[in-house]
Amino acid sequence: MKRFIVLMLLVVMVLSVSGAAEAQELRKGLKIAYSVGYTGNAWRSQLVSSLQAAADVYLADGTLASFQIVDAGNDTTTQISQCNTLLAGGLDSLLICAVSPTTLSSVVELAKSMDTLIVLSNDPAAYEGTYCVVNDAYRYSMLINRWMATKLPSGSNVVYISGNPGNGTDMIRDRAVYDAVEMFNWNLLGEAAGRRNQTEATNVMSALLSTYDNIDGVVCQNTTFEGVKAAYDNAGREMPVVGGDGVLSTLRMWSQMGDYETVGVTNSPAVSAASLHFTILLLQGYELKQEALQPCPSDGGENLFNTVLIDPSVAITLDGRMPADLEADYPNIVQYSLEEAMEMYADAEDTYAPDVTLTREQCIDLWFNPPQS
């Protein structure tokens, strides 16, 4: 009798372990697509390549049954049409890097009616029932602005070269620049849209130089440093303090400028890969930590807590060190000296931005509790 009871207990234990294992088995065969607003510059191309690299791993192990990337060509109507077509094909999740943060209501409502998870990636947008996984555009911009403040005293005259007007991320960076102007008591002489394009940055900086002869510093969004320098070279004027960029073509130009000081900060293109990890983990039953979600940047930070924010990944300075207060406020950022970066990325293309990609495991540690058994 005792032997029978022991055997029955063993059977129950085996079945229990087996059931727990089945409960822990992660969902596979997912169908996911990514709508990217545009791929018109090198940073966006790196966003796509980082995304595809992460997706390839999931395709290889069967987690993903299908994965598509479509480019809307910076057109809101095209993006809406493409998203509707993707949803009609049947998806577990649609990730959207929005052309505009205010044009996706119909897409979101359609996805909700189909029980399709919507995740806004890279550029935030405030829609109930969605998530955002985005680079922290405000902290990215403020890191550069705060570094510049160590070189530009109160009362300095600055101009601002912005990015693409109307883009969600750009509007957040604009707010950070205006806050910095007030915080550091700079005199903002003028501003113009560089559209994250070196040629356009040269043109608008040349126009500003023809208007103002007392510029102490240039605050600029990424992918414009080289254009600003070209404008100063064309005008035969000495470069003042200019906010830098982490792309290698800029770093290589900077390395030829002697002891000139700026800061190159990478706004991580691999936010796309982090967005994919986040989405798959949600679909596989991982539960978000209570503190993981922050206010949506596009919502003014008041009502919608649906956003995972990612800090800048890399900072490059002449000596490899940022001021102590910045190091304390950005504890996870990887720092290199300009010389180190030149050596590390000697064989990389000019268009490459030094980056650190969050792994699936890091995303779990940052944002999730384990799935429930």
pLDDT, tens only, 351-368: 999 999 999 999 999 999
Angle between helices 198-211 and 225-235 (to 10 degrees): 40
Considering only the C-alpha atoms of the chain, give the largest distance between any 2 of them, rounded to a whole number of Å: 100
Give the CA radius of gyration of the chain: 24
Q: What is the pLDDT of residue 86?
A: 98
Give the pLDDT band of residue 24 (cuts 50, 70, 90).
Answer: low
Q: Which two tokens stand for residue 62?
A: 């069967």
Are 95 and 107 in contact by the 8 Å Cβ rule? The answer is: no
Q: Per-residue pLDDT averaged across 126-148, rounded?
A: 96
Give the three-state DSSP class for 103.
coil
Are 248 and 254 in contact by the 8 Å Cβ rule? The answer is: no
Q: What is the pLDDT of residue 20?
A: 37
Q: What is the pLDDT of residue 5?
A: 39
CATH topology of domain 30-136+268-310+359-369: Rossmann fold (3.40.50)
Q: Which two tokens stand for residue 306?
A: 């649906």
How far is residue 52's CA from residue 12's CA, in Å, rounded to a whole number?
Answer: 44
Q: What is the pLDDT of residue 223?
A: 78
Q: Which two tokens stand for residue 120?
A: 């806004």
Q: Distances in Å between the alpha carbon of 316 and those of 268, 333, 348?
A: 14, 10, 16
Q: Which two tokens stand for residue 350?
A: 């000019």
Q: Is the dihedral of CA 283, 289, 291, 292 positive or negative?
A: negative
Of 37-41, 204-208, 321-325, 346-350, the least confident:
37-41
Q: What is the pLDDT of residue 169?
A: 82
Q: Which two tokens stand for residue 361?
A: 């495991």
Q: Which two tokens stand for residue 264?
A: 């190159």
Q: What is the pLDDT of residues 158-200, one digit of tens each?
A: 999 999 888 878 888 999 999 999 999 999 999 999 998 899 9
Q: Which residues of the chain does CATH 3.40.50.2300 include?
A: 30-136+268-310+359-369, 137-266
* pTM listed for this prediction: 0.84
Q: What is the pLDDT of residues 240-255, one digit of tens each?
A: 999 988 999 999 999 9
Q: What is the pLDDT of residue 371?
A: 67
CATH architecture classification, 137-266: 3-Layer(aba) Sandwich (3.40)
